[in-house]
Structure 1
Amino acid sequence: MMNKPGATGLKRLANATQYSIKGLKAAFKHEEAFRQEVFLLPIILVLAIWLSKTGLEFALLFGSYWLVLMAELVNSGIEAVVDRIGLEKHPLSGQAKDIGSAIVMLAMVLTVVTWISVTVFR
């Protein structure tokens, strides 16, 4: 059992929200790929609204792209930790970064498959 000192209840929730916003700001400031994906977000939202015929279709279209943003955040976190540990080349560092990149790629493939499935195979 882990005993971590710190805030509880609503204070913990408020702190967690502040940390999350701080993380989003850092990703937007330092990660070009994340910025590009965020700039596409309004276009994706409009297209998802326009192309979906049901709430479920909208959730699939928009949610699959939202997953790309989440994957990009995971990838950025992995890269930051690896770079914090050291900038020298090491096979495990490269492997960790490659796996983080693969997470993003798989999310993008899922998005494409979802959009094709919802819009073409009705």
Structure 2
Amino acid sequence: MTPHPYKNKTGLARLVQALRNSTSGMRAAWRTESAFRQEGTLILALVPLAFWLGHDGMQRAALAGSALLVPVVELLNTAIEYTVDRVSLEPHELSKTAKDMGSAAVLLTLVLCAVVWLAILLPRLA
């Protein structure tokens, strides 16, 4: 078994190791997950737009936050899928359900993002 990456690390060393692990995870997701690449590309446009279109800090936070939440949930969904596949590639109803629930979480986050953007931007068009 691999030793825990934070064992015997404290303070700055622990933070640096956590940053390395996070960066490694995002790189792996970018390399292997087309949905993560698509969502990542989308937030590169949406986050700057959020700061341009938001009238105040709350609107900017809602617009940017809802956009940034999508790849966060995608990463969690991917982690679930990888974990299920690590346990067994054999078809099983619980495995399917776990993966479907992760996918549903991504869908709900996309809906949330759309609702936030529409709620803030549509009144301006009326």
Q: TM-score, normalising length from structure 2?
A: 0.88
- The answer for the alignment partner of 1:27 in structure 2 is 29
Query: Once superposed, which parts of structure 1, at least 4 consecutive aligned residues long, lie more than 3 Å away?
Result: none
Instruction: Measure the CA separation in 2 of the matches of 1:86 and 1:14.
Output: 33
Q: Distance in 2 between matches of 1:42 and 1:19?
A: 22
- How far did residue 24 of structure 1 move? 0.4
- Alignment counterpart, residue 81 of structure 1, candidates 80, 83, 91: 83
Can you give the 5+ residue segments of structure 1 that lack an aligned partner in the other structure? none
Match of 2:97 among 85, 95, 99: 95
The alpha-carbon deviation at position 51 of structure 1 amounts to 1.8
Asked if structure 1 preserves the Cα contact closer than 8 Å seen for 2:47 and 2:67, the reply is no
1:11 is aligned to 2:17: no
How many angstroms does 1:50 deviate by? 2.8
Cα distance between partner residues in 1 of 2:18 and 2:48: 30
Identity of aligned residues (%): 45
Question: Which piece of structure 1 moves more, 14-23 or 39-48?
Answer: 39-48
In 1: Cα distance, 2:7 partner to 2:48 partner: 44
Which of 1 and 2 has higher RCO (CA within 8 Å, sep 6+)? Answer: 1
| Aligned-CA RMSD value | 1.5
SS at match of 1:89: coil
**Residue 36 of structure 1, CA deviation:** 0.6
Q: How many pairs were matched up?
A: 119
